[in-house]
Amino acid sequence: MAEVKNILLVGVGGQGIILASKILAQGLISAGYDVKMSEVHGMAQRGGSVTTQVRYGKKVYSPIIGKGQADIIVSFEKMETLRWLDHLKVDGKVVVNDYEIPSAPILIGDAKYPENVIEILKEKADTTIFKAADIAKELGNIKTMNVVMLGALAKAMGLEEVDWGKIVKNNVKEKFVNINIKALNKGMEQVK
């Protein structure tokens, strides 16, 4: 692959976005790509916006994705998708976890959660929606929704042959390995 691909992962602090991005980057490296990753997390521990940028290809010189350059935006919280939509290429794709985490201004009553987020996204981009949180709850741990999202992304990117189990094992505590591997597989099942 001569072309560099750009994946932007967005969400809210505490959703495991950085862990999912690290696992994704390691999977891409094991698939033979040059990979660059950057992360931005401001008030992450207080529910603030968190983004990571993963770029991969034959040779990647910079980890930064500019506006209008993302091939895929993977959103762990649907309002965050709107915040980052200007980074999507004209023909880019959006994968959205249909899940809401109200920001601090919404919680104290200074703002309202936007209405019809999914409809707005569908009008503006090629959008795939699924409920990763529900899948993670069924598995017994909602915190695995990040790995459900990662599994769906890996399948959509055609990276099923990567040894994701080994990479997950190297990145999570031993007692959480099995449930995270189940979450990864459930995510892959969401993509046909």
pTM, rounded to two decimals: 0.91
Residue/partner pairs of 134-141 with CB below 8 Å, 24 or more apart: 135/183, 135/186, 135/187, 135/190, 136/183, 139/179, 139/182, 139/183, 139/186, 140/179, 141/176, 141/179, 141/183
Q: Which tens digits make up the pLDDT trace of 112-148?
A: 998 999 999 999 999 989 899 999 999 999 999 999 9
pLDDT one-digit tens code per residue, 15-71: 999 999 999 999 999 999 999 999 876 655 566 888 999 999 999 999 999 999 999
Whether residue 150 is predicted with pLDDT greater than 70 in this model: the reply is yes
The model's pLDDT over 73-85, given as tens digits with 9 standing for 90+, comes to 999 999 999 999 9
Closest C-alpha among 33, 38, 40 to residue 60: 33
Reference 1, options 55, 56, 63, 53; nearest CA is 56
Half-sphere exposure at residue 76, Cβ-oriented, CA atoms within 13 angstroms: 32
Domains and CATH numbers, the chain: 5-101+114-132+159-169 (3.40.920.10)
* Beta-ladder partners of 95: 74, 128
Residue 109: left (phi > 0), alpha (psi -120 to 50), or beta? left
